Amino acid sequence: MVNIPYLRNKISISLAFSAAILMLLTTTMTTSPLLLFNVIPVQAQTSLSFRTTEPASGSDADCLVGDATLTFDAQGTPSSSNPQVLDITSGTFKVTATDDEQKSYSGNLASGSFTNNNGGGVLKFALSGTIENASNTTNCSIEGATFSIGAPCSTSNDGASNPVSISTHYIAQAPVFNNFNGVVECSQGGGDTTQSSSSSMTGTTQDGDGDGILDANDNCPNLTHTSCYKEGDTAVVVHSNR
């Protein structure tokens, strides 16, 4: 039998090296969780919608010289820097004379804000845009003027949709303030802002656990400073490494 010492030494070194690698892998897996399972998904922002369900009635004695109707439709999301501010993703408005549809002015909405009345839980909002199209207005040069809309939401605690007072403002030769009366739907939904939910936005500005994330955007509204995500109907809490 041929005795090959260097071959036996080589096999011994290889076995020892393999055992060391196996021990290192075992220690790493038992003491440090894989980073793959610590990825925290970003919570999606809640889309908000403010709109008239039908034309609101009122008047514009300055530029339309008589009774008029107001319609508007705006969608957006709460600003990441200030949850009370609305980042508009799309929005339009139009004011039309009741006796002549050719007399009107309209434009796009570009910004907004909303607040929750602590006393009655009534959500109020303010929208702002620019008048871009004015047709057959009387003695008014208002194209390019800022147009503002302010109103509470119509949905009350009992679920009824009651008409509310809608105030508007723009500047022609002088500041013009008008009031309209109609039903204003305020709703919230997740994802596509073109599809608004029928749920009321009353309480949207509440933050139950005080972690700076509104309850409407917080998957764990009762757990402070906790990141979590939805798995089916269950909120799964994700903790960072210690």
Query: 145 and 55, same structural domain?
Result: yes
The predicted structure's pLDDT at residue 40: 32
pLDDT at 232 over 60: no
In which domain, by residue range, is 215 found? Answer: 206-242
pLDDT interval class at 62 (50, 70, 90): very high
Q: What average pLDDT does range 4-26 have in this prediction? A: 49
Does the residue 197 lie in any domain? no
The helix (H) or strand (E) run that includes residue 18 is: helix 5-31
Q: Is 167 helix (H, G, I), strand (E, B) or coil?
A: strand
* Residue of higher predicted confidence among 176 and 14: 176
Does the residue 37 lie in any domain? no
DSSP string, 113-134: EEEE-TTT--EEEEEEEEEEEE
Does the residue 68 lie in any domain? yes
* Residue of higher predicted confidence among 207 and 39: 207
Number of domains in the chain: 3
pTM to 2 decimal places: 0.62
Does the residue 41 lie in any domain? no
Does the residue 97 lie in any domain? yes
pLDDT in tens, 1-13: 555 554 455 445 4
* Cα–Cα nearest to 134, from 105, 163, 91: 105
Residue matched to tokens 């508009």: 88
Query: 109 and 69, same structural domain?
Result: yes
Query: 157 and 87, same structural domain?
Result: yes
Does the residue 200 lie in any domain? no
The predicted structure's pLDDT at residue 189: 67
Q: What average pLDDT does range 174-192 have in this prediction? A: 83
* Cα–Cα nearest to 182, from 201, 168, 162: 162
% of the chain with per-residue pLDDT over 90: 47
Query: 152 and 110, same structural domain?
Result: yes
Does the residue 183 lie in any domain? yes
The predicted structure's pLDDT at residue 46: 83
